[in-house]
Structure 1
Amino acid sequence: MTHLHATITFADEGDFVAAVPSLLGFHPVDSIVVLAVVDDGPRCRIGQLMRSDLRLPGDDLFMARYLSQTCAQNGGSRVFVLITGGGSERLPQSDFVDLVRAAFDEEGVSVELAVWARSARAGEKWWCYDDPERCGEVPDPDIAPVAAALTVAGLVKYPTREALAATLAPDPPDDIRRRSVLIDARLQAEFRNGQAGECDPEAFSRDWALVDAALDDFTRSTEDLSGRGSEPLWEDERIVGLAVALCHSDVRSECLKVALSARAPAAVRLWTRLTRSTPAPERAQPAVLLAIGAYLRGDGPLAHIALDVAMEANPGHALASLLRAAIGHAIAPTELREIITRASQYSTRTVAAP
């Protein structure tokens, strides 16, 4: 689920189809995509974007109601619906689209248009469910106005959801195993010294200095190469130190504050790097921070994938479970930001100025 605050114009159904890959961050396959609009007129302010795999026929009613209720709860007044794939014949999934339309009608939300295409790639044919004779070609998604706007905002498009998930694939197994041994030894030593969970002031200052320096590295690398993916190279010792630092609740609380600051883009890149570099179960900590940072900037697909990684690394991670439930109920990024702001006010830790 993605929340965006952008204004775009759709000249026809083809423009809508072409916008979807950039809005999602990847090309949807065998999917239903619902774009909610929160104002009237030809210029549509996007309130919410939802995507789901096409389900088996027995799940159609559940999915239709879930989409419509979620949209209504978040203030959507009308929606655009896209079906990709789902069959080789023209306008497949017609019965499902009828269920979706009826479910939105029950919630007082109108379906502005419903369109089908085999894919959202340039040159594909689109067809309209409301007028089976109405059709056209999908423009090139890479040069659609929304693609340029979202690229400037820092959101990258991938060919598939799997390609997006691959950006969080772990480092080579030998590297992960070696770091796991080092992290276990470090955490066991802390446990023997009574430092597990939350640091004493001296340990906190040391651990936060590690995180702070790493954020500086990623801020500089982003500035030097205009955010094109340059990353500082680190040895195991630094990765292990950061992984252990994020095991401490007071350090993580400080990291949440960073998500609300000008350093948020650098933080997303740092958490991405640590999600790839850190073994389970500690991998869950940067993955959750990445999910928060991604969701706050409107990147719902990456947030979902990061939460999947966190839950796989540590199925009992409380914050990951809470965040997954919140995102599943389409919490607005502004509301999540307010929650983090209020929570940070309870933190009594003061970070000393360098």
Structure 2
Amino acid sequence: MTRTVKIGAMADIFAAVPHLLGFVPHRSFVLIVVGSDPLQPNRTEMVARVSLEQLAEDPTALAQQLTHRVLDRPVREIIGLAVCPPPPDTDSALPYRTEILALTHAIRQLGFCVNEVGHVPDFIEGARWRSYFDKERTGQLPDPFATPLAAAVVSEGFVTARSRGELASAFIPADPHDRIRLEPYIASALRQSRADQALPNAARDRLTRADVAIAAAANGALPTQDVEIADLIATFSVEPFRSATFSVDSTDLLRGVQGLTTYLWRFAHEPCASHLAAVAGLHAYLLGESVRAGIAANAGTVCLPLLVLLRRIVDAQLPPQELRVVTSEGAAEARAHLTGLTPTSAEPPATADRAGETADHLSPE
């Protein structure tokens, strides 16, 4: 995010988890890694989530899996949170206590300070959080969707989904009849797109159509005509048109490409669908939404170079700003190659992203 939101109380930190992840986690264990970089003190460096079922794994291996991305970074502390139904009475031991304390010990053995690990039953106003370290330490959550951080998330254009499943629902195929009806249109558009590569005027027209559709998608308008849908699928499926459509000029256009290609994916067959998933995922990652990027990466079923690269980027949690530079240069070169114009190099502007990085290690909640 471009705005800095300060969070102090433990209840506020726990209430921030859905916005840091991008969705409300259920039956999950979440780690919040707080940095100690003197230039950005107390910044959220990473937020990682696993399912509660994974707590049954070897704690040493799980600790390494959760923290390997920050082993070479300055870390001040780590805060953990378990999200699941509460015990039947307040005197009962907290759920997964043995497993969580074993994992906490393993994380400390790696040299990290684990300041607190809490439990919440849900992310609602007044939900009681309890500490795994001190049974007397407890508190109540504010309304997670009425905090300063929630307001900042909305103002930056982010959406916090009510579940991970809600995020994944964007990649549900369209009605089979619509997909079948579009197949001949897409096949014809693919042939034309390949032919347009050698025709600068036709290439410029194709890129202009894509630019118009991206700008419209940024404003919430998506194509409805079969010919237009097929034409855009073909543009994003054929290189170098695909690279030329990559956009880092503004956050709105990043969202436009992400939204448009996610929508087109629903109508496309393979390998076009995997090309579209890769483009959607890359732009989600450039926006700082690595969970959405991971979902998009899993929506592709064909082994394509860009899709493989996206999965590696998500796994390594590379800095989005570095990718924006490479993406900007590649898009300019591809556009110049197609249209016969001289590419211009410019530093891409920083775009808003969620605080820190998010690593979602399991698809189900």
TM-score interval for Structure 1 and Structure 2 normalised by the shorter chain: 0.7 to 0.9
Per the alignment, residue 207 of structure 1 pairs with 206
1:61-98 CA-to-partner distances (Å, cap 9, x unmatched) read: 32221112122245444222111127746422223333
Per the alignment, residue 49 of structure 1 pairs with 47
Choose between structure 1 and 2 for higher RCO, CA contacts under 8 A separated by at least 6 residues: 2
Which of the residues 272, 276, 294 maps onto 2:284?
294
Aligned pairs (5 A) from 1:323-342: 323-341=310-328
Equivalent position amino acid for 1:329 in 2: A
Which of the residues 135, 138, 147 maps onto 1:132?
135
| Change over 3 Å in CA distance of 1:233–1:245 after alignment to 2 | closer
User: Does 2:4 correspond to 1:16?
Assistant: no
Per the alignment, residue 355 of structure 2 pairs with none
1:286-339 CA-to-partner distances (Å, cap 9, x unmatched) read: 2222211111222122111111112xxx33122111211221122121232233
| Change over 3 Å in CA distance of 1:96–1:62 after alignment to 2 | same
User: Does 2:280 correspond to 1:281?
Assistant: no
CA distance in 2, matches of 1:49, 1:71: 11
CA distance in 2, matches of 1:74, 1:343: 29
Per the alignment, residue 268 of structure 1 pairs with 258
Q: CA RMSD in A?
A: 2.9
User: Does 2:24 correspond to 1:36?
Assistant: no
Which of the residues 125, 136, 145 maps onto 2:148?
145
Equivalent position amino acid for 1:50 in 2: A
Deviation of 1:44 (Å) = 3.3
Per the alignment, residue 224 of structure 2 pairs with 234
1:174-227 CA-to-partner distances (Å, cap 9, x unmatched) read: 11221123223443x459xxx3795553443232122112123234xx2xxxxx
Per the alignment, residue 349 of structure 1 pairs with 337
> Per the alignment, in what secondary structure is the counterpart of residue 167 of structure 1?
helix
> Per the alignment, in what secondary structure is the counterpart of residue 114 of structure 2?
strand
Does the Cα contact within 8 Å between 2:85 and 2:122 map onto a contact in 1?
no
Aligned pairs (5 A) from 1:173-192: 173-187=176-190, 189=191
CA distance in 2, matches of 1:61, 1:71: 16
Deviation of 1:346 (Å) = 5.3
User: Does 2:26 correspond to 1:26?
Assistant: no
CA distance in 2, matches of 1:291, 1:197: 26
Does the Cα contact within 8 Å between 2:124 and 2:144 map onto a contact in 1?
yes
Does the Cα contact within 8 Å between 1:127 and 1:135 map onto a contact in 2?
yes
Does the Cα contact within 8 Å between 1:190 and 1:196 map onto a contact in 2?
yes
CA distance in 2, matches of 1:298, 1:85: 27
Equivalent position amino acid for 1:293 in 2: H
| Change over 3 Å in CA distance of 1:233–1:250 after alignment to 2 | closer
Deviates more, 1:98-107 or 1:169-178: 98-107
The share of aligned pairs that are identical, in percent, is: 26
1:153-179 CA-to-partner distances (Å, cap 9, x unmatched) read: 111112111112113322222112211
Does the Cα contact within 8 Å between 2:262 and 2:280 map onto a contact in 1?
yes
| Change over 3 Å in CA distance of 1:37–1:56 after alignment to 2 | closer
Which of the residues 153, 156, 160 maps onto 1:157?
160
- Once superposed, which parts of structure 1, at least 4 consecutive aligned residues long, lie more than 6 Å away? 40-43
| Change over 3 Å in CA distance of 1:344–1:205 after alignment to 2 | closer
Q: So what's the TM-score if we normalise by structure 2? A: 0.81
Q: So what's the TM-score if we normalise by structure 1? A: 0.83
Per the alignment, residue 114 of structure 1 pairs with 117
| Change over 3 Å in CA distance of 1:40–1:75 after alignment to 2 | closer
Deviation of 1:108 (Å) = 3.0
1:238-261 CA-to-partner distances (Å, cap 9, x unmatched) read: 0000111112111111122x1344
1:37-72 CA-to-partner distances (Å, cap 9, x unmatched) read: 223799732222222222151354322211121222
> Per the alignment, in what secondary structure is the counterpart of residue 29 of structure 1?
coil
- For structure 1, list consecutive stretches of 5 or more residues without a partner in the other structure: 223-229
Per the alignment, residue 227 of structure 1 pairs with none
Deviates more, 1:157-166 or 1:95-104: 95-104
> Per the alignment, in what secondary structure is the counterpart of residue 9 of structure 1?
coil
